[in-house]
A and B are shown apart, each in its own frame.
Chain A
């Protein structure tokens, strides 16, 4: 009697192992899918890992609780139809003590030795899950090489802006110089360009080669921008414009600068 109870406990333990293996594989899939989706957003790498991890943990525990509640002998029977009736009969006659039930328990034990975790696992499902996980991994690698970034997607919750790399510091209201012009006023250049940060760019221009080295973009040295320190190569051909035009433009530029200062 005690031995057959042990046998049923053993069976339940095997089933628990199967449930865990299945949920683990499902969770891996959920993690990869969540990672794949979050990687499209322009959020910090830490959050790209953290969000899928949280989703996966929630999924793991929820599904584990549900499946544990459903962990009945029926699942074992469904997995092993060849011992279905035998298992059920043994279960219903655990209290009986006679030669036939003893023989039944003995046979059941022998059969259950061959019915291990491997038999309970649905190999097709497992293989499908593993292949799917590998495919998702390849997809992630492939998509990451394309450097797709959904930067322009607005995060609907203002509080989640902290996830955007450098978002809070660089795009805070205080640091943005936003110029808005009335339609009647003269504007030089496109209005969108007037949205400026206070970062200065050090551009090294080589006129003979007509190229710009963007690798050297960085914080400009204040001294380098002082009057008179401009390189000799940058200049204006005096014959290109009349003096009056130059003077008019200089005046307009001075007015423009004055306006900017007053804002």
Chain B
């Protein structure tokens, strides 16, 4: 009972904890609070995110900073057309010890807690599949041996909306496995001024403190799933997802039930990050954009009208 009360007291402090995490990240990353929140949400949901932005917006720095603050092992995979699955997963290498040759498994960059798969659409489908399998199963199989990946495991794949020549766009079925599609926009004038000031002066760039341990993160992931949701909020989430399938005048293909699960889960994580013990309708509406935008395919009419997935989602929620 006393332990329970203590745990409840700790829950009360969660808002401060996440606020401190955001503050710590902001020492390196200027602005982009919403993006940072969405990355945290994806981590809390024990899921993966697809990050779309123009080059030079600080994706790598952002993920590195998040990894440092959360005490997670970070690795980066730069996707290119000649990238092989073994380059990601790892491979067996011959090792000679005292004249005896043995095969030893050399772990690839996938054996980390946070993976930044940069420009994933430049890798071949074979390599993409290898990474996506690791994302889904949280394990990799090489030969006849299976290796479990460290928990928590989070892949942040990026792709550029421009320069699509020579790329292999992710198939819809694989895109569906990403919980969120996070969009990074250009910083506003004030933020960019601050970026210039911070990174063009002499002196050491600020270092971030580790605020959460791996175990704490696992506990938080567990807590995320425990956040209660009211029946009418669940109904609202389902209505939004269902409308993506029935609004045929704008959408060619709607979202799957995985989207419904993702929407509720993401809303729970958002509630937790904001220090709430319940999911509000606003959480659902806020998370509908990153959860659904990569899961719907607009039809010709919507594209001709110049509508983006976010515009259509906004219309669905009216």
Chain A residues with CB under 8 Å of chain B are 85-86, 88-93, 96, 98-104, 106-107
**Apart from the given pairs A92-B228, A99-B4, A99-B223, 7 other A-B contacts in the complex at a CB distance below 8 Å:** A85-B278, A85-B281, A88-B230, A91-B230, A98-B226, A100-B228, A107-B12
**Can you list 18 contacts pairing A with B, beta carbon distance less than 8 Å?**
A88-B232, A89-B228, A89-B229, A89-B230, A89-B233, A89-B279, A90-B278, A92-B229, A92-B231, A93-B228, A96-B228, A99-B8, A99-B11, A100-B11, A100-B223, A100-B227, A103-B277, A107-B277
In Å, the complex CA distance between A121 and B282 comes to 28
Residue of B nearest to A101 (CB): B228
In Å, the complex CA distance between A104 and B227 comes to 9
CB distance from B21 to the nearest CB of A (A): 19
Residues in A whose Cβ lies below 8 Å from that of B229:
89, 92-93
Residues in B whose Cβ lies below 8 Å from that of A91:
230
In Å, the complex CA distance between A107 and B275 comes to 12
Residues 1-17 of chain B: 1 if any A CB is under 8 Å from the residue's CB, otherwise 0? Answer: 00010011001100000
Q: Are A99 and B7 in contact (CB under 8 A)?
A: yes
CB distance from B264 to the nearest CB of A (A): 13
Residues 272-309 of chain B: 1 if any A CB is under 8 Å from the residue's CB, otherwise 0? Answer: 00000111110000000000000000000000000000
In Å, the complex CA distance between A119 and B230 comes to 24
Residues A102 and B230 in contact in the complex (CB < 8 Å), given A85-B278, A85-B280:
no
Residue of B nearest to A104 (CB): B277
In Å, the complex CA distance between A222 and B56 comes to 124
In Å, the complex CA distance between A245 and B167 comes to 140
Residues 220-241 of chain B: 1 if any A CB is under 8 Å from the residue's CB, otherwise 0? Answer: 0001001111111100000000
Q: Are B226 and A100 in contact (CB under 8 A)?
A: yes
Secondary structure at the B interface, as helix, strand, loop or mixed, is helix
Q: Which of B12, B227, B232, B281 has the most CB of A within 10 A?
A: B227
Residue of B nearest to A94 (CB): B228
CB distance from B305 to the nearest CB of A (A): 35
In Å, the complex CA distance between A41 and B223 comes to 72
In Å, the complex CA distance between A90 and B8 comes to 16
Residues in A whose Cβ lies below 8 Å from that of B233:
85, 88-89
In Å, the complex CA distance between A93 and B230 comes to 7
Q: Are B11 and A85 in contact (CB under 8 A)?
A: no
Residues in A whose Cβ lies below 8 Å from that of B230:
85, 88-89, 91-93
Residue of A nearest to B224 (CB): A100
Residues in A whose Cβ lies below 8 Å from that of B280:
85
Residues in B whose Cβ lies below 8 Å from that of A86:
277-278
Residues in A whose Cβ lies below 8 Å from that of B228:
89-90, 92-93, 96, 100-101, 104
- Indicate which residue in A85, A88, A92, A102 contacts B8 across the interface (CB closer than 8 Å): A102
Residue of A nearest to B232 (CB): A88
In Å, the complex CA distance between A90 and B280 comes to 12
Residues in B whose Cβ lies below 8 Å from that of A106:
8
Task: List residues 1-41 of chain B with CB under 8 A from any CB of chain A.
Answer: 4, 7-8, 11-12
Residues in B whose Cβ lies below 8 Å from that of A104:
228, 277-278
Residues A103 and B232 in contact in the complex (CB < 8 Å), given A85-B280, A89-B278:
no
Q: Are B279 and A103 in contact (CB under 8 A)?
A: no
Residues in A whose Cβ lies below 8 Å from that of B226:
98-101
- Indicate which residue in B8, B231, B281 contacts A103 across the interface (CB closer than 8 Å): B8
In Å, the complex CA distance between A234 and B304 comes to 116
In Å, the complex CA distance between A3 and B230 comes to 19
Residues in A whose Cβ lies below 8 Å from that of B231:
88, 92
Residues in A whose Cβ lies below 8 Å from that of B8:
99, 102-103, 106
Residue of A nearest to B280 (CB): A85
The 4 closest A-B pairs by CB, nearest first: A89-B278, A100-B226, A104-B277, A93-B228
In Å, the complex CA distance between A156 and B226 comes to 71
CB distance from A254 to the nearest CB of B (A): 98
Q: Are B4 and A102 in contact (CB under 8 A)?
A: yes
In Å, the complex CA distance between A96 and B229 comes to 11
Residues in B whose Cβ lies below 8 Å from that of A92:
228-231
CB distance from A86 to the nearest CB of B (A): 5
In Å, the complex CA distance between A93 and B228 comes to 7
CB distance from A89 to the nearest CB of B (A): 4
Residues 195-227 of chain B: 1 if any A CB is under 8 Å from the residue's CB, otherwise 0? Answer: 000000000000000000000000000010011
In Å, the complex CA distance between A89 and B4 comes to 20
Q: Which of B4, B8, B227, B228 has the most CB of A within 10 A?
A: B228
In Å, the complex CA distance between A99 and B279 comes to 15
In Å, the complex CA distance between A87 and B231 comes to 12
In Å, the complex CA distance between A107 and B9 comes to 10
CB distance from B18 to the nearest CB of A (A): 15
Residue of A nearest to B222 (CB): A99
Residue of A nearest to B14 (CB): A103
CB distance from B10 to the nearest CB of A (A): 9
Residues in A whose Cβ lies below 8 Å from that of B4:
99, 102
In Å, the complex CA distance between A228 and B279 comes to 106
Residues in B whose Cβ lies below 8 Å from that of A85:
230, 233, 278-281
CB distance from B53 to the nearest CB of A (A): 33
Residues in A whose Cβ lies below 8 Å from that of B277:
86, 100-101, 103-104, 107
In Å, the complex CA distance between A102 and B229 comes to 13
CB distance from B223 to the nearest CB of A (A): 6
Residue of A nearest to B277 (CB): A104
